[in-house]
Amino acid sequence: MDAGRMARTLSRIAHEILERHPDPKRLALVGIRSRGVPLARRLARLVGDAAGPAPALGAIDIALYRDDFTSLAAQPITKGTDILFSIDGRTVVLVDDVLFTGRTVRAALDQLIDFGRPARIELAVLVDRGHRELPIRADYVGRSLSTSRDEAVQVLVREEDGRDEVVLVRTGPEAKARPHGAAKPGRAVTAKAAKTEKAKPAKVTAKTAMTKTAKARAAQRGR
């Protein structure tokens, strides 16, 4: 997914949110750090451009609410939660870049409930890659991808990475052995070249056979 497609996808999600919740004043978008935050900011701007006032915007850091917190470092790095408004009675849309096992969203729900009692909580994600370990489903999905456990989905945003892009990266032994800077389309080009090379001899052989047959028939007619 390139920058243009990402922009169109976010625009579609923003309009889907507005179709369900036409009053932005009763809506709040809360991004899950880290890349969920710039995505939530863009969605809030798109909703505001389409409906007038932009919805409330917040950020949530789930580091201290993870179910593997005890296995992390003694002092995990946190960027802080920033919710400077009441969520009571609002519809809160959690925003994240990738939905995977569902454990990040579970942690975000636990923390969000500590801030109040929203009327409804929904989830918007740019990419749903499957492999759920908890019964969690997104209400708004930019794109669903079929992935394996040996693959990782990386979402790059210009606010943090300098560009907008979604890439699928292999994490198995083959990917680790690939030299840094190796061209991505190398395998595809090799396969195409191999296919071409296999096709050429067959074509030449068939033509040669037809020529020999024609010569043989001409020789018979001349007898």
Decide: residue 50, CB within 10 A, 0-12 exposed, 13-18 middle, 19+ buried. Answer: middle
Is residue 66 scored above 60 in pLDDT?
Answer: yes
Between CA 88 and CA 10 the distance in angstroms is 26
* Whether residue 189 sits in one domain with residue 171: no
41 and 151 assigned to the same domain: yes
Same structural domain, 23 and 77: yes
Domain count, the chain: 2
Over residues 104-130, mean pLDDT = 96
State residue 52's pLDDT score.
87
The boundaries of the domain holding residue 39 are 3-177
Asked whether residue 148 falls in the same domain as residue 103, the answer is yes
d(CA 97, CA 120): 21
The secondary structure of residue 58, as a DSSP letter, is E
State the pLDDT at residue 58.
Answer: 97
Look at residue 188 in the predicted model and tell me its pLDDT. 35
In terms of domains, do 47 and 106 share one?
Answer: yes
Let me know whether 22 and 109 are in one domain: yes
Verify that 109 and 190 share a domain, yes or no: no
- Ranges 9-13, 54-58, 64-68, 217-221: which has the least confidence: 217-221
Find the mean pLDDT for residues 98-113: 95
Cβ atoms of residues 78 and 61 within 8 Å = yes
- 36/144 same-domain check: yes
Given pLDDT bands bounded at 50, 70 and 90, which one contains residue 171? confident
Which amino acid would we find at residue 114?
D
Q: What 3-state DSSP class applies to 154?
A: strand
Q: Which CATH number does the domain housing residue 24 bear?
A: 3.40.50.2020
The answer to whether residues 153 and 196 belong to one domain is no
State the average pLDDT over residues 61-88.
Answer: 73
Same domain, 54 and 128: yes
Please say which residue of 146, 161, 177 terminates a domain.
177
pLDDT at 155 over 70: yes
Same domain, 112 and 195: no
The mean pLDDT of the chain is 81
Better pLDDT: 203 or 40: 40
* Shared domain check, 202 and 121: no
Condensed to tens digits (0 to 9), the pLDDT of residues 23-64 reads 999 999 999 998 999 999 999 999 999 998 999 999 999 988
Note every long-range contact of 75-84, with CB atoms under 8 Å and residues 24 or more positions apart, other chains counting: 79/33, 79/34, 81/111, 82/58, 83/30, 83/58, 83/59, 83/115, 84/58
